[in-house]
């Protein structure tokens, strides 16, 4: 465990604020059942895959006598799945406290190292002594995490053995869209096998792409963007002080640009590239480079040879030509996996792959710097896809921009000079002390998950809503996991997955940013929001993200 000192000592004493509805005795909270639900897409295919759990209703908790709530002792299991996000420990703390509130004999088992802990039966009982050391802290080190997917028949069988051996009544999976898709598959498997183990998901991802009308935000996003905004804001002040560098900052967010948009709203950089807009406008790499160069030239003409550019890590996947390349690479490498494994060296692998791609894609790949094209084929994630986060997009842009500016200089269009510095803000945002918002939100999500279990629900995601209000006014309930799903191509096959929420170009957060973009290009309107505040006036310590404020405000 990390040594306890300074802020952590004080944060251990913080008491998360629960929604009023969750503070009542469980026998005085009743579930209100809504109408049967559909899915985010591909409904007929999903009905066929999830024969036992598809179409369940949305659930909302309200005050009222509840005589059906389970009062018998239960054993619950919890697993952290996927990348870290601030507040994961507080989800577990909320689960533990709710279990003990319901019945002192209830037990909580933590699976170690992520889903692989379920498969191989690696677990430990989480006692009060353990729980109390991790309250309101960052990281996932209480039980660890992992990215193993439970998808083969053997893995499902081993999971079944672990569940039955340890007499687990309920399994709570804390994860993102892929992890919660796995939760749905496990719930379906348990139902098919007539195993009376409930499955509840918790929405986690700093990327902010696990949300919809019922899930207003995923936990960890609030903390991560505040950490990134502090760092980006510091660079904005440095830029304004030194006045001689262009800083290119790549931010986490492979599949969506929510982090980049939120940091832009908080810090006002000169340029923030939004991947969804690039895709919508079908921009090429050259178009993106031209857009940045236009700003650089305008600022140079005003005597400003400095600036800040925000780049989402998944940018190249939004550029149509790259999107097509990556899609085809994923297909080719999935179909030729055995043969590729026999080939040594990146150069030889590329030559083999060139024989499987269309000519225009081969030309695009050959036009890239060698290290970038090698990353496209050598680094793969657990799902067999390109590891976009490892591709240094900001460095690729810098090299192409320098080349473009050199040409512009020859023609007298550009008379400035550029010194570019690159950054990647990623892991810095995943394990920080959770903000007050994430501290309260995660605790409520865990507490609410237990209420869903006690009322007999399975294949649901814990949902806490009305998040723009104070925590006491938040509402609680659950939504069916299948309600958020559609079908996507993975490893060359159709797979059920929870649909990612991309930046809505017609949504208020993007419109607000778009309205100030021309001004930011040429003017120095930087904001340095500073570090996360945990103590002080509510408008500072309990401040929500600009994204949540704009998306959920009725004004």
pLDDT for 229 equals 98
Residue 382: pLDDT over 80 = no
Does the domain made of 7-220+434-490 have the CATH classification 3.10.450.40? no
pLDDT for 518 equals 95
Reference 534, options 425, 438, 431; nearest CA is 438
pLDDT for 50 equals 98
- Candidate from 280-294, 324-338, 538-552 with smallest mean pLDDT: 324-338
Give 392-407 pLDDT, tens digit per residue: 899 989 988 999 999 9
C-alpha to C-alpha distance for 219 and 199, rounded to whole angstroms: 19
pLDDT for 140 equals 97
pLDDT for 333 equals 87
* Averaged pLDDT for residues 223-238: 98
β-strand 75-81 against 145-146: which pairing, if any? parallel
Residue 322: pLDDT band (50, 70, 90) is: confident
Give 107-141 pLDDT, tens digit per residue: 999 999 999 999 999 999 999 999 999 999 999 99
Residue 379: pLDDT band (50, 70, 90) is: low
Per-domain residue ranges of the chain: 7-220+434-490, 222-429+506-552
Q: Work out the number of other CB atoms within 10 angstroms of the CB of residue 538.
A: 9
Residue 544: pLDDT band (50, 70, 90) is: very high
pTM, entire model? 0.93
Average pLDDT, the chain: 94
List, in sequence order, every beta strand (DSSP E) within 368-484.
420-425, 460-465, 475-480
Residue 454: pLDDT over 80 = yes
CB 513 within 8 A of CB 271: no
pLDDT for 344 equals 86
* Averaged pLDDT for residues 362-366: 89
C-alpha to C-alpha distance for 271 and 87, rounded to whole angstroms: 31
What token pair was written down for 63?
């005050």
Residue 390: pLDDT band (50, 70, 90) is: confident
Residue 389: pLDDT over 70 = no
C-alpha to C-alpha distance for 389 and 213, rounded to whole angstroms: 28
pLDDT for 391 equals 80
- For 432-452, what is the HEC assignment? CCCCHHHHHHHHHHHHHHHHH
- Give whole-number Cα distances, 33 to 37, 350, 357, 412, in Å: 11, 55, 51, 69
Give 166-218 pLDDT, tens digit per residue: 999 999 999 999 999 999 999 999 999 999 999 999 999 999 999 999 999 99
* Averaged pLDDT for residues 530-551: 96
Reference 106, options 65, 73, 63; nearest CA is 73
CB 506 within 8 A of CB 276: no
CB 306 within 8 A of CB 242: yes
Note the Cα 303 to chain centre separation in Å: 39
Does the domain made of 222-429+506-552 have the CATH classification 3.10.20.70? no
Handedness of CA 329, 331, 335, 338 (dihedral sign): positive
CB 485 within 8 A of CB 498: yes
What token pair was written down for 92?
């577990």
CB 287 within 8 A of CB 318: no
Residue 101: pLDDT over 80 = yes
C-alpha to C-alpha distance for 28 and 24, rounded to whole angstroms: 6
* Averaged pLDDT for residues 473-484: 98
Residue 388: pLDDT over 70 = no
pLDDT for 174 equals 98
Residue 515: pLDDT over 60 = yes
Q: Which residue has the higher pLDDT, 152 or 386?
A: 152
C-alpha to C-alpha distance for 485 and 41, rounded to whole angstroms: 7
C-alpha to C-alpha distance for 184 and 173, rounded to whole angstroms: 10
Tokens 């990327």 correspond to 207
Annotated catalytic sites, by residue? Answer: 207
* Averaged pLDDT for residues 376-392: 69
C-alpha to C-alpha distance for 409 and 75, rounded to whole angstroms: 70
Which percentage of the chain shows pLDDT scores above 90?
Answer: 84
- Candidate from 120-134, 140-154, 214-228, 363-377 with smallest mean pLDDT: 363-377
Give 59-92 pLDDT, tens digit per residue: 999 999 999 999 999 999 999 999 999 999 999 9
222-429+506-552 has the same fold as 7-220+434-490? yes
């Amino acid at each position: 465990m990390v040594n306890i000192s300074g802020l952590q000592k004080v944060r251990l004493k913080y008491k998360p604020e629960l929604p009023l509805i969750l503070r009542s005795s469980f026998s005085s909270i009743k579930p209100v059942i809504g109408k049967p639900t559909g899915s985010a897409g591909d409904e007929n295919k999903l009905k066929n895959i999830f024969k036992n759990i598809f179409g369940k209703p949305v659930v909302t908790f309200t005050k009222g006598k509840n005589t059906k709530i389970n009062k018998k002792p239960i054993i619950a299991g919890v697993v952290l799945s996927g990348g870290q996000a601030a507040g994961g420990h507080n989800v577990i703390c909320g689960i533990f406290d709710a279990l003990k509130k319901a019945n002192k004999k209830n037990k909580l088992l933590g699976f170690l190292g992520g889903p692989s802990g379920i498969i191989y039966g690696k677990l430990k009982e989480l006692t009060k002594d353990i729980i109390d050391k991790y309250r309101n802290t960052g990281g996932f080190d209480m039980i660890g995490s992992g990215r193993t997917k439970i998808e083969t028949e053997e893995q499902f069988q081993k999971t079944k053995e672990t569940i039955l051996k340890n007499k687990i009544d309920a399994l709570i999976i804390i994860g993102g869209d892929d992890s919660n898709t796995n939760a749905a598959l496990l719930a379906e498997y348990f139902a098919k096998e007539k195993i009376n183990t409930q499955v509840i998901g918790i929405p986690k991802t700093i990327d902010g792409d696990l949300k919809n009308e019922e899930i207003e935000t995923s936990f960890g996003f609030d903390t991560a963007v505040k950490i990134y905004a502090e760092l980006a804001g510091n660079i904005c002040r440095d830029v304004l002080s030194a006045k001689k560098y262009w800083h290119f900052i790549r931010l986490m967010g492979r599949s969506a640009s929510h982090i980049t948009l939120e940091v832009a709203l908080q810090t006002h950089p000169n340029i923030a590239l939004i991947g969804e807009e690039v895709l919508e406008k079908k921009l090429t790499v050259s178009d993106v480079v031209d857009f940045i160069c236009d700003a650089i030239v305008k600022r140079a003409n005003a005597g400003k040879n400095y600036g800040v550019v925000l780049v989402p890590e998944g940018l190249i996947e939004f550029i149509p030509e790259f999107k097509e390349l990556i899609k085809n690479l994923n297909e080719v490498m999935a179909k030729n996996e055995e043969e590729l494994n026999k080939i040594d060296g990146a150069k030889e692998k590329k030559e083999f792959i060139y024989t499987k791609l269309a000519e225009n894609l081969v030309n695009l790949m050959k036009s890239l710097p060698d290290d970038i094209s090698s990353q496209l084929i050598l680094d793969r994630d657990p799902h067999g896809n390109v590891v976009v986060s490892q591709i240094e997009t900001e460095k690729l842009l810098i090299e192409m921009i320098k080349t473009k500016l050199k040409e512009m200089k020859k023609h007298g269009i550009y008379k400035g000079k550029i010194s570019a510095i690159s950054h990647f803000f990623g892991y810095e945002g995943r394990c920080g002390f959770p903000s007050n918002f994430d501290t309260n939100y995660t605790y409520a999500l865990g507490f609410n998950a237990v209420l869903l279990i006690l009322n007999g629900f399975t294949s649901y995601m814990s949902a806490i809503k009305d998040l723009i209000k104070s925590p006491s006014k938040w509402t609680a309930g659950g939504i069916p996991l299948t309600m958020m799903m559609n079908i996507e191509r993975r490893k060359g096959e159709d797979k059920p997955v929870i649909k990612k929420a991309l930046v809505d170009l017609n949504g208020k957060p993007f419109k607000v940013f778009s309205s100030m973009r021309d001004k930011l290009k040429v003017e120095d309107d930087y904001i340095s929001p500073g570090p996360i505040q945990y103590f002080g006036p509510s408008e500072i310590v309990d401040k929500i993200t600009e994204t949540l404020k704009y998306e959920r405000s009725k004004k």
